[in-house]
Amino acid sequence: MMMQKVKPHGLEKLNLEPSLEPSLEPSLDSDFFSQEILNKIKTDISQAWPESLNLNDRDIDNDFLVREIKKLLKIKDAVLISHYYVDPALQALSEQTEGLVGDSLQMAKFGKSHAAKNLIICGVRFMGETAKILSPEKNVFVPTLKAECSLDLSCPSDLFKKFKAANPDRTAVVYVNTSAEIKALADWCVTSSNALQIIQYLSDQGEKLIFGPDKYLGAYLKKETRADMLLWQGFCVVHEEFKSAGLRSLKQAYPEAAILVHPESPEDVLEMANCVGSTAKLLEASKKLDNPVFIVATENGIFYKMQQASPHKKFISAPTGGRGATCRSCAHCPWMGMNNLKNLYECLLAIPDNSSNFNTLEALTQPYEIKIPEEIIQKAALSLNRMIHFSQ
């Protein structure tokens, strides 16, 4: 059976045709942010797209994989934790096996509190790393270690270290969409669920901040809290693409619609929102608000849970590039899309059980297991646990 790729919604009505061609513009506002970083992101996206679209796996028997994955989760003492952006087939499996579908904060908390020996994280690599840092005693696996995030890629630790060293009087706050090394350099970690409250708290304490990597989330936090913040110039390739002009036209076509926007989006798109928030907050808003139609500026994997919770409401993807324009993501994260039933099944097969030959274990689990040096785990746990305790 062929895997279904989720298509961007709403564009038909506006006659906007997305292209998948990457077209990164340089954005050199920071001394530490370079063309080299942009080139790295561009190369990684080009490699992620074919795997994300499952071009080579059209003959896979999904029903077989679903049955086997359910059995293997039990045999291997594993729990499946999925982000809202992954393939609906994976989200459904998490639901059916008493795992979790959640935002990045919910995923982190669930993994830490769950009794299973093996955590399987369907999302992107930083989500697996976060789970490992919070639960170093557990084994953490991901269906593919190649699932990156443009925010993580846009913030190399050697350059962020220089940014921090150039501002020794400032507290370093980093978004959870970063590597373990960046978290180890930070004083605080935040997710989109708790960033406003944490930045407000720090600002009220009189602290001056550096924030990275997302320049849009950073600008939004700065505007809302009036905190004294210097911003790294990273961006999410999915959310940066939402366009206010297209959104205005779509709102005219659907005047009854509420607009839901993730804070990684540009300021002019955020200004049009009825609700700005993390994926969990946007899902809640889609349940609570009475509007019959929702225009959603975030990754379109979220439509699975939105539509499930409100089957009679209509959900439309906010427009990205227009005709003739280029669109890097088209409301689809190429790295989230690299998670699929096949690599999840292969990942579970590689996890040892009691009958395994221990000499071959490392080689088998290597493509899936999150490994982080002990000293990085210890340092990164400080900023992450500070956030977890703040959010309890």
Separation between Cα atoms, residue 379 and residue 373, nearest integer Å:
10
Cα distances (Å, whole numbers) of residue 178 to 71, 156, 195, 254, 365: 33, 9, 14, 37, 23
Say how many residues make up the chain: 392
- Decide if residue 105 touches ligand SF4 (CB under 6 A): no
- Show the tokens assigned to 206: 């009189």
Tell me which of ligand 13P, ligand SF4, none is bound by residue 279, counting a contact when its beta carbon lies within the kind-specific cut-off of 5 to 8 angstroms.
Answer: ligand 13P
CB of 9 to ligand SF4, least distance (A): 17
**Would you state the torsion angle of the CA atoms of residues 79, 80, 84, 88, taken in this order, to the nearest 10 degrees?**
-140
> Interacting stretch for ligand 13P, rule CB under 6 A, among 186-194, 198-206, 246-254, 342-350?
186-194
Tell me which of ligand 13P, ligand SF4, none is bound by residue 335, counting a contact when its beta carbon lies within the kind-specific cut-off of 5 to 8 angstroms.
Answer: ligand SF4
Q: Which of 250, 264, 296, 313 binds ligand 13P (CB under 6 A)?
A: 264
Q: Which of 149, 229, 283, 372 binds ligand SF4 (CB under 6 A)?
A: 149
- Decide if residue 180 touches ligand SF4 (CB under 6 A): no
Give Cα 249 to chain centroid, integer Å.
28
Strands (E), the chain: 78-83, 100-102, 118-122, 139-141, 171-175, 188-190, 209-212, 229-231, 257-261, 275-276, 293-297, 314-317
- Which H helix or E strand runs over 1? none
- Decide if residue 192 touches ligand 13P (CB under 6 A): yes
- Decide if residue 177 touches ligand 13P (CB under 6 A): yes
- Decide if residue 130 touches ligand 13P (CB under 6 A): no
- Decide if residue 194 touches ligand 13P (CB under 6 A): no
Q: Which of 16, 80, 237, 331 binds ligand SF4 (CB under 6 A)?
A: 237
- Decide if residue 142 touches ligand SF4 (CB under 6 A): no
Site size with ligand 13P, rule: CB under 6 A: 11
Separation between Cα atoms, residue 57 and residue 272, nearest integer Å:
40
Give Cα 318 to chain centroid, integer Å.
18
CB of 217 to ligand SF4, least distance (A): 9
Task: Name the residue with tokens 């028997």.
Answer: 61
Q: Which of 80, 210, 238, 282 binds ligand SF4 (CB under 6 A)?
A: 238
- Decide if residue 339 touches ligand 13P (CB under 6 A): no
Separation between Cα atoms, residue 221 and residue 1, nearest integer Å:
45
Q: Which of 174, 236, 250, 372 binds ligand SF4 (CB under 6 A)?
A: 236
**Would you state the torsion angle of the CA atoms of residues 364, 370, 376, 381, taken in this order, to the nearest 10 degrees?**
-140
Separation between Cα atoms, residue 152 and residue 164, nearest integer Å:
17
- Decide if residue 341 touches ligand SF4 (CB under 6 A): no
CB of 344 to ligand SF4, least distance (A): 17
Separation between Cα atoms, residue 207 and residue 99, nearest integer Å:
38
Binding mask 297-326 for ligand SF4 (x = CB under 6 A): --x---------------------------
Separation between Cα atoms, residue 86 and residue 98, nearest integer Å:
17
> Interacting stretch for ligand 13P, rule CB under 6 A, among 11-19, 130-138, 188-196, 227-235?
188-196
Site size with ligand SF4, rule: CB under 6 A: 13
Residues from 51 through 80 that contact ligand SF4 (CB under 6 A): none
Q: Which residues bind ligand 13P (CB under 6 A)?
A: 103-104, 177, 191-193, 236, 262, 264, 278-279
